[in-house]
Chain A
Amino acid sequence: MESRPPGIAGHPEQHAQGAASVTDERELVASVVRKDRKAAARLVAAHIDAVHAYARHRLTPRADLVDDIVQEVFLAALNGLATFQGQSSLRAWLLGIARHKIEDVYRERLRLLQAVDDVANVAENPLLENATLDEQIDAARARERTRHLLAQLPERYGLLLLWRYWEQRSTREIAEAIGTTEKSVERTLARARAQFKVLWLRE
């Protein structure tokens, strides 16, 4: 599956169109670039909730990294604001930076954890093959449940599932990023899926 660039429907950036007008955003950006400290406060106040929520969700298996990543996002944004073109909203741009930072975490952690992974190939649990999503489940509850289960998985599995399905990266892209084979990623994903579904049905 091809990855989607920020801003395409189905990705969090699609929800990034804030109420702020383009002019307001340009003024805010120009003020921060001029080193107006109050504008920096407005930038944080306006966008940190979205960036934090995104990082919190995508880093569920490593919640301890969320605060640092959010800070890195804003510092990187500060460095790049002078080149911000306004082609997307400021929030979408910030979430794009967050996405890159989070993928850096996936890459680094999965490279590291790969070394300690066992090579056993776990078959998919036949009992789970017919499992279906509860169609009408409250979306917020589903998100919370998913987050909760992802946090319970081994870190490697959680990060891999998030990268593959929530960030919609192909197994080939993931394999290239972490320096392994596509087959190896698929095997690990199969184990991760199986374990997640066991937890999903148990809860």
Chain B
Amino acid sequence: MSDELWFERLAAATSEVGEQRTPSKLKSRIYSALVARMAETGPLLDLKETHEAGGRLCVFERSLTVVPLGKEIRSTNPCRICHARVLAERLDAAPIFWPGCPYSEFHKG
């Protein structure tokens, strides 16, 4: 068998890469990067609308939907200053258990 054919067969036999669990902290970092990029180009979707669209809010996000601080605050990204994000981006199994927190979900899933 020629080298060329040997490698073509090897590649064909091993080309399926399957799926492996991505480290939770990488998921967290990428999610943070996405939300930061979204926020760079204008306000995020209002948290009330996010909730109405079926998104689960964490306790901090919920609090932003009820405080009388204007609509703008609901389009900010509170995760930027949240300890859960910091832990999630740095630890493999971060001890965060907030319902509705995406970082918590990444570390659970």
Binding partners A and B: yes
State A52–B18 Cα separation when bound (angstroms): 10
B8 — which chain A residues lie within 8 A by C-beta? Answer: 165
A70 interface hit (Cβ, 8 Å): yes
Majority secondary structure of chain A interface residues (helix, strand, loop or mixed)? helix
- Given contacts A48-B27, A165-B10, are A193 and B17 in contact (CB under 8 A)? no
B7 interface hit (Cβ, 8 Å): yes
B38 touches A40 (CB 8 A): yes
Closest residue of chain B to A147 (Cβ to Cβ) is: B14
Q: Which of B3, B17, B44 has the most CB of A within 10 A?
A: B17
- CB within 8 Å of B: which of A176-203? 190, 193-194, 196-197
B17 touches A49 (CB 8 A): no
Number of residues from A at the complex interface, CB < 8 A: 52
Closest residue of chain B to A128 (Cβ to Cβ) is: B3
Q: How many contacting A-B pairs (Cβ < 8 A)? A: 140
Number of residues from B at the complex interface, CB < 8 A: 46
B56 interface hit (Cβ, 8 Å): yes
Closest residue of chain B to A48 (Cβ to Cβ) is: B22
B53 interface hit (Cβ, 8 Å): yes
A161 interface hit (Cβ, 8 Å): yes
A45 — which chain B residues lie within 8 A by C-beta? Answer: 27, 102, 105-106, 109
Residues of B within 8 A of A (CB): 1, 3, 6-22, 26-27, 29-31, 33-35, 37-39, 42-45, 49-50, 53-56, 77, 79, 102, 105-106, 109
Residues of A within 8 A of B (CB): 10-12, 15, 31, 34-41, 43-45, 48-50, 52-54, 56-58, 67, 70-71, 74-75, 78, 124, 129-133, 139-140, 142-143, 146, 161, 164-166, 168, 190, 193-194, 196-197
Between-chain CB contacts (< 8 Å), 25 pairs: A15-B16, A31-B53, A35-B38, A35-B44, A36-B49, A37-B50, A38-B53, A39-B55, A40-B31, A40-B34, A43-B34, A45-B106, A48-B22, A48-B30, A49-B21, A49-B22, A71-B33, A78-B38, A140-B18, A142-B14, A166-B14, A190-B3, A193-B3, A197-B3, A197-B6
